[in-house]
């Protein structure tokens, strides 16, 4: 399996995992198609989809790879907080698909509206795209209905946890009229478990730098911080003892953007600016295609849909205890590219037990961050994912440097 040289240097290297790509249990492709041009469609041009598209092209001679993604460029959510608080330009996080297209990926700049599984066709507004294999990496959508009033208020309280939405959050912050800034943490599972805490810290720093009165109030629906709690709480205490309030176990019951009020099960808050993150679920194409309800059902360790052996689902849309991380989505793209290549070549073997690893960073100031690495394996006996986490015990400058290096390397891996 190809791997990017992106391990943060300050954390110990992960042990080498045997991610075997061959699959005895998985139906092989017939010889006619194996000798011809195999058609692979990829839905979603984010972390998982770009990785899969690029690696399938490398792994299978003559593969016809079609990427279906409405955007014409990739925008990185990792490091996007620095853009929101005005420390980075959007261009430094935005990468057009030109290199990928030059390498031979066909880009259809439309949404996949439906998947005709019987005919093996992806349907867009103007095209029907046939496939031998389909990789879905549609990411997440917000369960707006979980917060009464959210749908009506969303223009005024942008979320910014999907690519390109960050501009609205930055504009909301720039227009902050004074008063408190209310942020929230959705219930697990959600995209990048440490990211909402990073957002709270850097917005607190943003207020500090401007000498603004008011606080950042972080309403957390979870009973405890999902991962890295001691590091996060120590950083909050040390850096923002009076600026940042973090409340665990608070459920938002209504938001009213006109009155600028948030009702919770613990009381009512007035705010100057708010950015709330609703609970999340897989992109709607997963439900449309009958591949899962809230999240996609897949089999491990190969990420094949439990409902269809020609469809792989990767990235944040997968229902599992694996962290929803771009790094993990990237590695899973490599993993399924190898799996498809082996099926096309008619190679047989046993699936290994290795699963892709996750690497996430959270900044607490522009110069200090924490890193989290989670390596996982599939236990075929218990049918469970076993996880081992390595977490920075305190914020540090090396992690900030590692985050910048990791991002640069992995963006190059994704878009060249
Ligand atoms: C603030 C923040 C910080 C983060 N930090 C880290 C970090 O430090 N490390 C890390 O590893 N991860 C981090 N992440 C998480 C990372 O961004 C996600 O895990 C990653 O984006 C998941 O990749 P994906 O391919 O599943 O989804 P995405 O990258 O969201 O890609 C999904 C794509 O699918 C497209 N799409 C959806 N539906 C359709 C359809 N029907 N047809 C066509 N296209 C469709 C969308 O337009 C989108 O481009 C962070 C996230 C946030 C928000």
The pLDDT tens digits of the residues spanning 316-335 come to 999 999 999 999 999 999 99
Residues 38 and 53 in one domain: yes
Same domain, 132 and 152: no
pLDDT at 353 (0 to 100):
87
Residue 226 lies inside a defined structural domain of this protein: yes
Q: What is the pLDDT of residue 370?
A: 98
Kindly state whether residues 134 and 162 are assigned to the same domain: no
At 349 the pLDDT is 63
In the reported structure, the alpha carbon of residue 362 is separated from the centroid of ligand 1 by a whole-number distance in angstroms of 16
Same domain? For 170 and 225 the reply is yes
Atom of ligand 1 nearest to the CA of 315: 26
pLDDT, residue 389, reads 97
Instruction: Measure 62 CA to ligand 1 centroid, in angstroms.
Output: 28
Q: Is the CB of 45 under 6 A from ligand 1?
A: yes
Nearest CA to ligand 1 atom 22: 326
Q: Which residues have CB under 8 Å from 391's CB, separation 6+?
A: 227, 228, 231, 370, 371, 372, 373
| Domain shared by 64 and 180, yes or no | no
Is residue 195 within 6 Å of ligand 1 at its C-beta? Answer: yes
pLDDT for the residue numbered 26: 52
pLDDT in tens, 344-362: 999 876 678 899 999 999 9
Q: Is 316 in the pocket of ligand 1 (CB under 6 A)?
A: yes
Position 276 scores a pLDDT of 97
Measuring CA to CA, which residue among 224, 415, 390 is closest to residue 326? Answer: 415
Collect the ranges in the chain with pLDDT lower than 70.
1-36, 349-350
Ligand 1 atom 31 nearest Cα: 46
Q: Is residue 378 part of a domain?
A: no
Kindly state whether residues 209 and 194 are assigned to the same domain: yes
Contact in structure between 359 and 6 (CB atoms under 8 Å): yes
Q: CB–CB of 197/112 below 8 Å?
A: no
Ligand 1 atom closest to Cα of residue 48:
25
Spatial CB neighbours of 209, under 8 Å, sequence gap ≥ 6: none
Asked whether residue 363 is domain-assigned, the answer is: no
| Burial of residue 358 (number of CB atoms within 10 Å: 0-12, 13-18, 19+) | buried
State the closest ligand 1 atom to the C-alpha of 358, by its place in the atom list counted from 1.
11
Same domain, 251 and 150: yes
Whether residue 175 sits in one domain with residue 133: no
Ligand 1 touching residue 282 (CB < 6 A): no
pLDDT, tens digit, 9 for 90 and up, residues 108-149? 999 999 999 999 999 999 999 999 999 999 999 999 999 999
- Angle, vertex CA 27, rays to CA 22 and CA 28, nearest 5: 65
- For residue 224, the number of C-alpha atoms closer than 13 Å in the C-beta half-sphere is 6
Pocket lining: 352 vs ligand 1, CB cutoff 6 Å = no
Shortest-distance Cα residue to atom 5 of ligand 1? 78
- Same structural domain for residues 152 and 189? yes
Domain range holding 332? 31-139+283-352
Q: Ligand 1: which atom is nearest the Cα of residue 71?
A: 47
Residues 205, 298 within the same domain: no
Q: How far is it, in rounded angstroms, from Cα 355 to Cα 386?
A: 9
Q: How far apart are CA 334 and CA 21, in angstroms?
A: 10
Which of 257, 275, 293 is the last residue in one of the domains?
A: 275
Q: Is residue 80, in this structure, part of any structural domain at all?
A: yes
| DSSP structure string for 167-197 | HHHHHHHHT--SS-EEEEEPPSS-SSTTHHH
Structural domains in the chain (count): 2
* Best residue among 122, 316, 359 to mutate for probing ligand 1, ranked by most atoms within 8 Å of CB: 316
Specify if 37 maps to a domain. Answer: yes
| Minimum CA distance residue for ligand 1 atom 33 | 44
Query: What per-residue confidence (pLDDT) applies to 352?
Result: 80
CA-based nearest residue to 389, from 187, 209, 193: 193
Q: What does the chain come to in residues?
A: 416
Q: 292 φ, ψ to 5°?
A: 160, 170
Task: Identify the CATH number of the domain in which residue 113 sits.
Answer: 3.50.50.60
Whether 322 maps to a domain, the answer reads yes
């Amino acid at each position: 399996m190809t791997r990017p040289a992106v391990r943060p240097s300050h954390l110990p290297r992960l042990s080498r995992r045997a991610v075997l790509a061959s699959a005895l249990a998985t139906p092989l492709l017939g010889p006619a198609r194996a000798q011809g041009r195999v058609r692979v469609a990829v839905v979603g041009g984010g972390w998982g989809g770009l990785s899969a598209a690029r690696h399938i092209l490398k792994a299978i001679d003559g593969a016809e790879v079609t990427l279906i993604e409405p955007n014409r460029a990739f925008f990185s959510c990792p490091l996007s907080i620095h853009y929101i608080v005005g420390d980075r330009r959007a261009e430094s996080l935005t990468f057009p698909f030109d290199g990928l297209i030059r390498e031979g990926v066909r880009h259809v700049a439309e949404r996949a509206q439906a998947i005709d599984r019987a005919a093996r066709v992806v349907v867009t507004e103007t095209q029907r795209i046939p496939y031998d294999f389909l990789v879905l990496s549609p990411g997440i959508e917000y369960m707006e209905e979980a917060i009464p009033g959210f749908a009506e208020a969303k223009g005024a309280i942008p979320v910014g946890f999907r690519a390109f939405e960050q501009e609205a959050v930055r504009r909301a912050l720039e227009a902050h009229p004074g008063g408190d800034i209310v942020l929230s943490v959705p219930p697990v599972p959600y995209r990048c478990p440490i990211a909402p805490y990073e957002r709270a810290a850097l917005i607190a720093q943003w207020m500090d730098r401007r000498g603004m009165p008011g606080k950042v109030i972080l309403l957390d629906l979870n009973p405890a911080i999902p991962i890295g709690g001691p590091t996060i709480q120590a950083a909050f205490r040390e850096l923002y003892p009076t600026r940042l309030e973090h409340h665990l176990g608070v459920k938002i019951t209504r938001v009213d953007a006109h009155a600028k009020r948030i009702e919770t099960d613990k009381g009512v808050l007035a705010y100057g600016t708010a950015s709330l993150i609703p609970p999340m679920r897989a992109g709607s194409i997963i439900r449309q295609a009958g591949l899962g309800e809230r999240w996609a059902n897949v089999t491990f360790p190969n990420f094949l849909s439990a409902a269809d052996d020609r469809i792989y689902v990767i990235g944040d849309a997968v229902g599992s205890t694996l962290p929803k991380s771009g790094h993990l989505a990237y590695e899973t793209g490599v993993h399924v590219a190898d799996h498809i290549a082996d099926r096309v070549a008619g190679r047989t073997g046993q699936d290994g037990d290795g699963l892709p690893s996750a690497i996430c960073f959270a900044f607490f100031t522009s110069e200090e961050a924490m890193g989290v690495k989670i390596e996982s394996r599939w236990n075929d006996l218990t049918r469970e994912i076993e996880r081992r986490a390595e977490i920075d015990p305190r914020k540090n400058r090396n992690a900030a440097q590692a985050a910048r290096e990791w991002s640069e390397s992995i963006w190059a891996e994704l878009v060249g």
